[in-house]
Structure 1
Amino acid sequence: MNLLEDFSPGLFFMQAIILIILILLLGKFAWKPILNALNEREDGIANALASAERAKLEMAKLEASNEAAAQEARAQRDAMLKEAREIKEKMIGEAADQAQAKADKIIASAQETIQAEKKAALADIKSQVAELSVDIAEKVTRKELSEKDAQLALIDKMLADANI
C-alpha cells in the first residue's frame, strides 16, 4: 500500500522513456553484432559439418581405391608367382630332357665301345687260335714223318695245354 502512495507519474514516464532508449540503443549497437556473431558461428558449424561429411566421403573413396589397388597388386603378384613357377617347371623339364639326352648319348657311346672291345677281343682270340692251330699243325707235320702214335699223343698234349 505504501507503494501506491509513493507512485510518481513523472518519474514513471521518465523511466519508461529511458527504458525505451536503452532498448533501442541495445538493439542498434549490441543485439545486431551478437546476432550476427551467432549467425556466423552457426554458418561456420554448418560449413564444418559439411566439410567433415565431404572428407568422410573422400576417405571412403580413397579406401575403395586403395582396396582396388591392393586387389590389383595381389593379382599381379599371383600372376608373377604363377609365371615364375611355370618358368621353373619349364627349366627343370628342359634340364631333365638335356640330362636324359646326355645319358642316352653316354649309354650309346658306352655300348659302341663295348661292342668294339668285344670285336677286338674276339679278333684277338681268333688270332691266338689261328696261331695255336698253325703251331699244332707245324709240330704235327714234323712228327708225322716219324710216328703216328707219337703224333696223336702230341696233339692230345697240346690240346691239354691250350685248355689251360
Structure 2
Amino acid sequence: MPGYHSKLTNASRKIGNVAFLTFKTKVRGPVTTMSPEDLVDNELDIIDEALFNFKANVFFKQFEIQSDSDRVLIYLTLFITECLKKLQKCTSKDQALQEVYSLAVSKFDIPGDVSFPLNTVYAKPSTLDEANQMRAYFNQLRQETGQRLVERVFDKETNKPSKWWICFAKRKFMDISLSGRGQ
C-alpha cells in the first residue's frame, strides 16, 4: 500500500528539488501568509496535509516521491516525529510551545549538509543564497508546524497531551530521524 502523497502542486518556485509552497502562518519568514483568495473551500496547506496524513504515513518504511511537494511532506513528517519526542516529556501546553519553538529554531541541517539524512533524495541548493533561503523556509515551516502540532496534541480542557498522538513518538518514518544517532 502506498503512502499518502501531497496533493499540492501550486509551488511558486523551488529550491533544488524542494517545492517552495505557500502556507498559512503568523511566523516571520520567506513565506507570507496565504491570502483568503488563495484558500479555496478551506483547502489544506502543506502543514495541514502533513499533520493530517502523519499517523498513516509514519508507518511506511519506503515512500515513493511523486512530486517536489512530497519532499516537503517527508521533511515535515520527520520533524513532527522529533516534536513528539519532545512533547512526550511536557506536562503543559505552555511548556510544549517552548519546547517545540526551541527545537524549531535550533541548528538543523539542510540538503547538501554532510549530516542531512536524506541527501540521496534532496538536491543540494546551487548557491549560498539558495541555501540561506532554504534554511529560512525550513525554519518557518518548523516553527509553524510545531505550533499547530501542540494545538492538536494538547487538550484544551485538561491541558494534557493526547496519548493518541504521543504514542507515535517512538515511530521512525522511513527508518530515518532528523536528529543524530542516539538523540
Normalising by structure 1, report the TM-score: 0.19
Higher helix proportion (structure 1 or 2): 1
Compare CA radii of gyration and give the structure with the larger one: 1
